[in-house]
Chain A
């Protein structure tokens, strides 16, 4: 209905005010689209699929002080399995969503000069994979006679002598894209280990900044049993409804078995996930509130300038009404005007958004802004503009045509 040309020529007579609105929308657009992208990154990270049955798992850890009597993992696990509701139990060197991890580079050929592929290492008894809910996808699991005990004394040497290895699907895919990893050899320095199985993906304890980074799933399992003397945790599988009760009973049991030690950690895996991502959640909230505040301020600016314009043009609105403009036409005029300003702002903002993103990429670990965020930001600001201008535009539409009759 409203053709943009007369609106544009009218705007040319109010360059400063029009430019300020355009600039504000451009800045808001550039910041908002980048911030929304950062929020999405955080959400994606928080949403990562761990590959273990989090809802069925609880974990606890008992200290082990030098000569105060080191707790035996086997004895503890046997006791823990007697707790009603415990479906299975294992000791494990580290778990997803903790800040403790064991990592190593593996190579496809022996020797120090070969290219290393870093992976995280999970160690635990035979029950580990079934307890976590990790499946063997190809090959087989370890047989019981392949397990050896790892102790602080043997750890450093044993750790560098893998004999058999189970790798995650993602790691196998990285090492031999499209190929079959089962039966292949992996090396740590000169010691070799054979891949006996490929398991479903399990996330590494410490995630990279990006939730979609495939290296989050580069994991291997080695056939070593670990105990509290290596800071191992116990992980118990129980029905979700029984988790809290099982955890409480397990703590009581361990405390009774080891009066001079202390339970240093007790949590459900769901709790650990929540705590692990607490920072991301806080950052996401901060970003979201900044986005909202920014949009609010931009809306205030639009309302302010649009109100001013309506007031300034009260007389010409009256004249237009006298010349036959309907209320709807006046409303449209201001809406179209705002749409044009927002469009100019968005166009300018696109350039700025890409500029900011390039700068962020250069200085921070921020990936390239996907193009999809630009139309999202554009729609958001168009809507915001229309919403903000609605009040002043309605006020303009209410201007009586008799205003035209008043003396200048």
Chain B
């Protein structure tokens, strides 16, 4: 019976090729637009460190003075001062912890290189950065705890910088001229691109990682500048590290809920102690978000992308309503044929099934064309200037979702018209009116 319905549906579709094409096209455009936008949304709202993100936390304390215009936000600032960062790093109990900030400076190519000096971004942090975030190494390894403590002139570089400077050779042990200083390379990273670039949301949120990694203490000793946001709250001293200026991000790894609760208590206690000492003017005001909470709190998914997704869903809705209308027209056009079929013994259920199969076939065609349009749409997104553009690729899960959505949309769209058409009374003649 199924094969018979399929044949009937095919014939019916062939009989009105223009209407069929219009329906498939409208459905495909709706599917294509919504899946393009949902794929982008899906990519951007993903977990950058699945499995680990639940144990990574971002501590915040509030060293601001009591009242100041644009500091009216009741939440503690997103960046730590040097003093607080050092205190939290040394007093807090965490499995791993790293403080960090972004810098940028000129790379001096090795002697004999044809390259001109060029500027790259750097991440100035501790060795736990690599183990905490499971950063993969292509050559070498992170620097040692002793390098951290002793502010050693060592560096880890990205694979792309290694390719550019050394042709991709194992550059461990070689020297890197950076910001007017010389650093011994201890490691080269393998390709790593967390999406979003969660560890520092002040800089490019979906961009590439930095090319140079240097110990935080070394960077402070050499006074390597901040290439990012610096927020100062009051009278400065002329020295960034003794001024009330936040510029540091900090991440801690806490392996259990109890450890997290304990750390949150520690932040409050620390704030109370600083308040008592007169350094903090405000009552303890702390946050300890885990990674996904931190991303949500910072509205990491761009508003444009969310709005596009809603727009695309509205669009899909219009396409579905459109398909309902066209299917209704298509089915009722065949009232005569359906009446005769009913008179010849076809049950309502049989008519309903036949028409739903027809709707499903339109859905299947719409899905395939929609998939093509999704692929085209994502290509168009990749041509956009935004930093997330290059991430917009079709994923297997979204591919399956596209096909499912198209079929579902067409079947839902087919329900009403098929129901309406199977109410047609049995008739012995084909009436023209």
Contact = CB atoms under 8 A, between A and B. Distances in A.
Given A27-B321, A262-B116, A304-B19, A112 B67 contact: yes
A305 B325 contact: yes
Contact of A293 (B33, B239, B308): B33
A240 B305 CA distance: 37
B345 interface: no
B117 A260 contact: yes
Contact of A290 (B312, B326, B330): B312
A100 B315 CA distance: 37
Contacts of B330: 308
A408 B432 contact: yes
Nearest to B236: A156
Nearest to A100: B227
Contacts of A303: 22
Interface in A136-157: 152-157
Interface string A307-318: 111011011100
Interface in A27-55: 27-28, 30-31, 35, 38
A176 interface: no
A260 B107 CA distance: 10
Given A20-B328, A65-B180, A301-B326, A189 B234 contact: yes
B326 A304 contact: yes
Interface stretch (B23-31, B49-57, B210-218, B285-293): B23-31
Interface residues of B, number: 69
Contacts of A30: 314
A264 interface: yes
B325 A24 contact: yes
Given A290-B33, A301-B26, A27 B69 contact: no
Nearest to B27: A297
Interface residues of A, number: 71
Interface in B93-139: 105-106, 108, 116-119
A63 interface: yes
A80 interface: no
Interface string A9-32: 000000011001101100110110
B431 interface: yes
A105 B73 CA distance: 14
B329 A17 contact: yes
A20 B324 contact: yes
Contact of B325 (A264, A301, A360): A301
Contact of B321 (A24, A107, A264, A290): A24
B251 to A, nearest CB: 24
A370 interface: no
B197 to A, nearest CB: 16
Given A107-B69, A160-B235, A293-B33, A300 B25 contact: yes
Contacts of B222: 66
A156 B245 contact: yes
A408 B325 contact: no
A239 interface: no
A127 interface: no
B344 interface: no
B410 to A, nearest CB: 14
Contacts of A305: 325-326, 328-329
Contact of B433 (A154, A260, A408): A408
B384 A308 contact: no
Interface string B55-74: 00000000001111111000
B181 A116 contact: no
Contacts of A282: 384-386
A406 B119 contact: no
A159 B433 CA distance: 85
Nearest to A24: B321
Contact of A63 (B105, B315, B322): B105
Nearest to B319: A297
B326 A23 contact: no
A283 interface: yes
Interface in A59-93: 63, 65-68
Contact of B315 (A31, A152, A278): A31
A190 B234 CA distance: 10
A173 interface: no
Contacts of B315: 31, 290, 293-294, 297
A274 to B, nearest CB: 10
B181 A66 contact: yes
B303 A364 contact: yes
Contacts of B329: 17, 304-305, 307-309
B322 A297 contact: yes
B2 interface: no
B238 interface: yes
Nearest to A306: B329
Given A294-B315, A364-B306, A408 B431 contact: yes
A154 B238 contact: yes
A290 B65 CA distance: 48
Contacts of B307: 38, 360, 364
A286 interface: yes
A396 B71 CA distance: 68
A303 B329 CA distance: 11
Nearest to A303: B22
B193 interface: no
B118 A262 contact: yes
Interface string B163-205: 0000000000000000111000000000000000000000000
B179 to A, nearest CB: 5
A287 interface: yes
Given A297-B30, A304-B325, A63 B234 contact: no
Contacts of A261: 106, 117
Nearest to B305: A283
A1 interface: no
Interface string A165-183: 0000000000000000000
A62 to B, nearest CB: 10
A339 B342 CA distance: 37
B195 to A, nearest CB: 18
Interface in A346-367: 356, 360, 364-365
29 contacts: A20-B324, A20-B325, A65-B105, A66-B223, A68-B180, A107-B69, A112-B65, A112-B66, A112-B68, A153-B238, A154-B238, A156-B232, A156-B245, A160-B236, A189-B235, A260-B108, A261-B117, A283-B304, A297-B315, A301-B26, A301-B325, A305-B325, A305-B328, A309-B329, A315-B433, A316-B433, A364-B303, A406-B432, A408-B431
Interface of A: 16-17, 20-21, 23-24, 27-28, 30-31, 35, 38, 63, 65-68, 105, 107, 112-113, 115-118, 152-157, 159-160, 189-190, 260-262, 264, 275, 278-279, 282-283, 286-287, 290, 293-294, 296-298, 300-301, 303-305, 307-309, 311-312, 314-316, 356, 360, 364-365, 406, 408
Interface of B: 19, 22-23, 25-26, 29-30, 33, 65-71, 105-106, 108, 116-119, 179-181, 222-225, 232, 234-240, 243, 245, 303-304, 306-308, 311-312, 314-315, 317-319, 321-322, 324-326, 328-330, 332-333, 384-386, 416, 420, 431-433
Given A275-B385, A308-B330, 5 more contacts: A24-B322, A28-B318, A298-B318, A303-B22, A305-B326
3 closest Cβ contacts across the A-B interface?
A: A116-B69, A308-B329, A66-B180
